Structures are given as C-alpha cells and as structure tokens.
Amino acid sequence: MRTRDQVLRIAAPITFGVLVLVLWQLLVEVAQVTPRMLPSPTAIVDALITHWGIIFEDAIITGGNALVGLVCGSILAIIAAGIAAWARPIDAMAAPVVAAIAVVPIVALTPLFNTMFGASSQFGRQAIAGIAAFVPVYLNMLRGLRQARPVQRDLFRAYAASGSQSFRKLTLPTSLPYLTIGIRIASSLAVISALVAEYFGGPADGIGTAIATMAKSGNAALAWAYVFAGIVIGLIFFLATVLLERLTARRIPG
C-alpha cells in the first residue's frame, strides 16, 4: 500500500504535466493560436536545444546571483536571529525593521541598486536576492531558537552545563529543523528575486534580462525557453534545500 501511494505521488504530477503539454500543443496546432502569442511546446524545445549554450551561460549567472544572495542573506539572518533571541529588547526593536524588509518592493529597489553599484555590477541583483532570503530565514531561526522547553533548560542547568554547552547540545539542535524550513522557503524567493532584478535592468546577462529582450523582440519561443531555464533553476534550489532538510532531520536525535 505504501509503495502504491509513493508511485501515485510521483505518477500523478507527471501525468498532469504531460496532459497539459498535449493540450497546449493541440491548442496551438489545432486552434491555430498565433505562435507570436503562445508558441507550441515543440517550438520551445527546439529553441532550447538550438540556443542551449547561451541559455546555460545565462542560467549560471542567475543561479550564481541567487546562490550568493541566499547564502549571504541566510548568514545575516542567522546572526540577527541569534542576537534577537539572546536579547528581548533587541528583538522588539528589530521586529518592525524585519516587517518593513518583508514588504520592500523589489521592482522599486532594483533601479536604485543598479544606480548605486553600477549597471555592470551583479552586486545589486545579489543584494536583492539576499533581502528576499533574509526574512524567512530570520523568522524561522528566531522561532527555532526559542523552541527549547524550560524543563530542558533546567535539566542542563542541573547538570552544570555551561552556556556554550547548552547552546550546542540543546538550543542549536532544536532550532535546526526550523532553520532548514526557512532556507527552503528563502531559496525559491532568492531565485524569483534574482530573476526580477535581472528583468528590470543591470548587466546584459542573466535569465531575466534575456526573457525581457526576447519578449520585446518578438522571439516568443526563445523567451519561453528562458522561462523554462528559470523554472529548472528554481527546482534545483528547492530540491537541494529539501535534501538539506532531510539530512538535518536524520542527524538530529529524536
């Protein structure tokens, strides 16, 4: 029964995806939807194969920007959450700042960052991805640092454990599942933010810039091929963080 459920979990989305592609192809070929508006899946695959080299290069740029933003944003969020968990007054002061960061309009920040750091620099895009990754990691890490129960802390005090020992053996292991969840959420946001930042200016490379360029030039098939590449980047980040989450869960004692 369990094997059957696992097969269904894998087969169901694959079957649905195949049906969508078939209907999409029929819509273009039978209903004669103009390829300029909606190219067929076969046209998109052909563009993807033909221009694979440059698409891969742009995907590396976008993936690199998202990765740098995710790593730097997560590190800053972990440090900030640790400080906030240690000092309640700092947590109270940081709460409105984090709330403000959560609603920062990326579209508005991108031109400003491009102007500040130069139109040839990738730093503005990486900073945008880092800002997007900061909030979910901060909130989940802060919550995780406070999950240890008072009775558990009292037990460590009864055994005369030092503050560092309590942190390594109790506080940190308890917070890791929450941290990995935050990183998983942040990974998708980092990729999306990097794409949006590329779409609205900066250096003439990256998936977002290519989508904007191809869409404006009327090359819909190639634009959709770049969209597919962006989806692949997001899936890679998501699967990598899911794997990290599972590995972390296995290493934590029950």
C-alpha separations of 139 from 78, 94, 185 in Å: 9, 11, 11
Could you give the CA distance from residue 74 to residue 236 in angstroms, rounded to a whole number?
18
pLDDT at 76 (0 to 100):
94
Query: For the chain, which residues score pLDDT lower than 70?
Result: 1-2, 4-7, 31-37, 148-171, 251-254
The closest alpha carbon to 39, from 164, 224, 183, belongs to 224
The residues, ordered by sequence, that sit 6+ positions from 199 with a Cβ below 8 Å of its Cβ are 208, 209, 211, 212
What pTM, to 2 d.p., does this model score? Answer: 0.84
pLDDT score for 134: 94
Distance CA 65, CA 114 (A): 14
